[in-house]
Copies of this chain bind each other. A is one copy, B any other.
Amino acid sequence: MTRTAPAETPLGDSFHVFDTTLRDGAQREGITYSLADKFAVARLLDEVGVGFIEGGWPGALPTDTEFFARAAAGELTLRHAALVAFGATRRPGTKVTEDQQVAALLASQAPVVTLVAKSDVRHIERALRTDVAEACAMVRDTVSFLVERGRRVFLDAEHFFDGFAHDPDCALRVLAAAMESGADVAVLCDTNGGQLPLALADTVGEVVARTGYRVGIHCQDDTGCAVANSVAAVQAGATHVQCTANGYGERAGNADLFAVVGNLVTKLGMPVIPTASVPELSRVSHALAEIANLAPDTHQAYVGASAFAHKAGLHASAIKVDPLLYNHIDPEVVGNDMRVLVTEMAGQASLELKGRELGVDLAGQPAVLTSAVRRVKELESRGWSFEAADASLELLLRRELEESSVDSPPFTLESYRVILDHRLDGVIVSEATVKVHVAGTRVIATAEGNGPVHALDAALRQALSPYLPWLADVRLSDYKVRILADRPGTDAVTRVLVESTDREHEWTTVGVHGNIVEASWLALCDALAHKAMRVEAASVSR
């Protein structure tokens, strides 16, 4: 059997970062982890140095049963974390030795087990349909059974806070049943997520003072306070905190592992994960979002792409003086970057900073900087926005620098035509024809798509792919449209953002025009130009 406590964590077993992304996090609407996903998630969580990984509920869900079986067979090697199985106590009025679900927990070979138990008398009576004495016996029997067989046991006391407020004696009796039978941690769960931090911290403090038990915390985000509640609980004496990656979970979600760990490490000075893992937080957060097939939350605390993005020109000049005047921590500590958003409010200071971020050195080139700022401002006055289109901005800056990698565009356009037909029979057809020059050849291609832009993209690909082999890797991954109305003295214009991806990178480009199709075309062309530039730069450096 593998270890039952975290390895190599500065605080050792005295503080637990307990991750339940694979169990409680999987309750989030839209998440379905495959077996391969579960292994990938567990490995990433181990990289970030959590102490415990709750892998699922063996016996209840087939994928979870299989996950534990394969892990036990040696397919999962964890450097830091101990693997945990989740399950329930025996059913009311039965013997623990005859409970199939408890047997499955044992069979999973997980060295640590979290047992969930009801601690609110109303739930015991109305949902479980039994009494407090039997509820406590269920806990005692199941904890003893597992402890006697060498398992480490944590108790998840469900609905603890509501239960304690309503009937503290009942809630504490359930904890006592577990702890006196050999459980290691009494985890106080805010199951319906209704708590606020000041009251929650008081309750945690009171339970610690009255019982002397090792106490853990598990928060849901229904009041938008899961992170705050978890941190407040630790300040009140909890030494075990349950979280999920990016706060995934049922309803409003759980406490976000990255924000909780970020706060404990940087605000409270508690080395709850290995020091070397702290700069991995941002990368692992985004990788876990990819596995869950969810867009990363760009505004997530600590790890979001915008978490250190500054828009106001007001701040940009002061940021040059001292970034820490405006950031609550140094973003590099958690593996994130400061980003300056180039907006109408921006000047030379922010553009130079932005260039540095994009790998374009504009320092000591005042003439280029002046001309680039003028070009950006001129484009912005016509509705362009580079705030979310780093790739287009990089192209603009490199063109201003007259760098060779952007000297010659991958192709030039002669003309295009798009025809949309809503036919008599109700069928709608979009067809595009492009005439382009590529590698010294004039090419004409026609293709259909399910909309004008899709048809244009298809025709362009058909024309170019014989000449640009890298095009096969590039695909359009997102497409956003914004109509800019009512700017004084101008016609409405359309701003299109195109997000592209190849096997390694994602990049965003922008196009602006009165005609939505032309705006999309401009953004598409920039997307290909950016890829061509990188291909060119790579071939030069080889």
Complex contacts, A518 vs chain B, CB 8 Å: 422, 428
Known: A198-B232, A428-B518, A481-B481. 11 other contacts (CB 8 A): A28-B306, A29-B306, A30-B387, A122-B325, A193-B301, A194-B267, A223-B302, A225-B228, A253-B299, A451-B514, A481-B516
Interface segment out of the listed A130-138, A181-189, A463-471, A483-491: A483-491
Complex contacts, A387 vs chain B, CB 8 Å: 29-30
Report yes or no: A417 in contact with B415, Cβ–Cβ below 8 A: no
Q: Which of B191, B311, B325, B417 contacts A250 (CB 8 A)?
A: B311
Which chain B residue lies CB-closest to A451? B515
- Over the window 246-286 of chain A, the binary record of Cβ atoms lying under 8 Å from chain B Cβ atoms (1 yes, 0 no) is 01001111001001101100011000000000000000000
Q: How far is the CB of A27 from chain B (nearest CB, A)?
A: 5
Interface segment out of the listed A354-362, A395-403, A472-480: A472-480
A119 within 8 A of B: no
Complex contacts, A477 vs chain B, CB 8 Å: 485
- Over the window 283-325 of chain A, the binary record of Cβ atoms lying under 8 Å from chain B Cβ atoms (1 yes, 0 no) is 0000000000100001111101011111111000110011001
- Alpha-carbon gap, A228 to B263, bound state (A): 14
Complex contacts, A127 vs chain B, CB 8 Å: 317-318, 321, 325
11 interchain pairs, CB-CB under 8 A: A29-B298, A34-B484, A123-B318, A197-B231, A223-B259, A224-B302, A252-B307, A293-B482, A415-B422, A416-B420, A428-B515
Report yes or no: B521 in contact with A422, Cβ–Cβ below 8 A: yes
Q: A residues near B, CB below 8 A?
A: 27-30, 32, 34-36, 122-123, 126-127, 159, 191-194, 196-198, 201, 221-225, 227-229, 231-232, 235, 247, 250-253, 256, 259-260, 262-263, 267-268, 293, 298-302, 304, 306-313, 317-318, 321-322, 325-329, 341, 385, 387-388, 413-424, 428, 430, 450-453, 477-487, 491-492, 494, 513-518, 521
Q: How far is the CB of A329 from chain B (nearest CB, A)?
A: 7
Which chain B residue lies CB-closest to A516? B451
Report yes or no: A310 in contact with B251, Cβ–Cβ below 8 A: yes
Report yes or no: A485 in contact with B494, Cβ–Cβ below 8 A: no
Report yes or no: B225 in contact with A192, Cβ–Cβ below 8 A: no
Complex contacts, A430 vs chain B, CB 8 Å: 515, 517
Complex contacts, A159 vs chain B, CB 8 Å: 325
Report yes or no: B422 in contact with A419, Cβ–Cβ below 8 A: no
Which 9 residue pairs spanning A and B have beta carbons closest together? A194-B328, A228-B228, A224-B259, A224-B301, A481-B481, A224-B227, A127-B318, A225-B228, A451-B515
- Alpha-carbon gap, A193 to B299, bound state (A): 13
Complex contacts, A30 vs chain B, CB 8 Å: 387-388
Complex contacts, A417 vs chain B, CB 8 Å: 419-422
Q: Which of B298, B309, B423, B514 contacts A450 (CB 8 A)?
A: B514
- Alpha-carbon gap, A222 to B228, bound state (A): 12
Complex contacts, A223 vs chain B, CB 8 Å: 227-228, 259, 262-263, 267, 301-302, 328
Complex contacts, A224 vs chain B, CB 8 Å: 227-228, 256, 259-260, 262-263, 300-302
Complex contacts, A481 vs chain B, CB 8 Å: 481-483, 516
The CB with the most chain B CB atoms within 10 A, among A30, A232, A302, A416, is that of A30
Report yes or no: B198 in contact with A32, Cβ–Cβ below 8 A: no
- Alpha-carbon gap, A494 to B453, bound state (A): 12
- Alpha-carbon gap, A326 to B250, bound state (A): 11
- Alpha-carbon gap, A35 to B488, bound state (A): 10
Q: Which of B235, B388, B483, B514 contacts A198 (CB 8 A)?
A: B235
The CB with the most chain B CB atoms within 10 A, among A222, A302, A418, is that of A222
- Alpha-carbon gap, A268 to B223, bound state (A): 12
- Alpha-carbon gap, A415 to B421, bound state (A): 8
- Contacts A122-B325, A256-B224; A29 near B301 (Cβ below 8 A): no
Q: How far is the CB of A384 from chain B (nearest CB, A)?
A: 11
Report yes or no: B414 in contact with A424, Cβ–Cβ below 8 A: yes
- Alpha-carbon gap, A413 to B325, bound state (A): 61
Q: How far is the CB of A125 from chain B (nearest CB, A)?
A: 10
Q: Which of B198, B302, B478 contacts A197 (CB 8 A)?
A: B198
Complex contacts, A298 vs chain B, CB 8 Å: 29
Complex contacts, A267 vs chain B, CB 8 Å: 194, 196, 223
Q: How far is the CB of A360 from chain B (nearest CB, A)?
A: 20
- Alpha-carbon gap, A221 to B298, bound state (A): 13
Q: How far is the CB of A70 from chain B (nearest CB, A)?
A: 11
- Alpha-carbon gap, A326 to B191, bound state (A): 8
Report yes or no: A221 in contact with B485, Cβ–Cβ below 8 A: no
- Alpha-carbon gap, A419 to B421, bound state (A): 9
- Alpha-carbon gap, A518 to B452, bound state (A): 10
Which chain B residue lies CB-closest to A521? B422
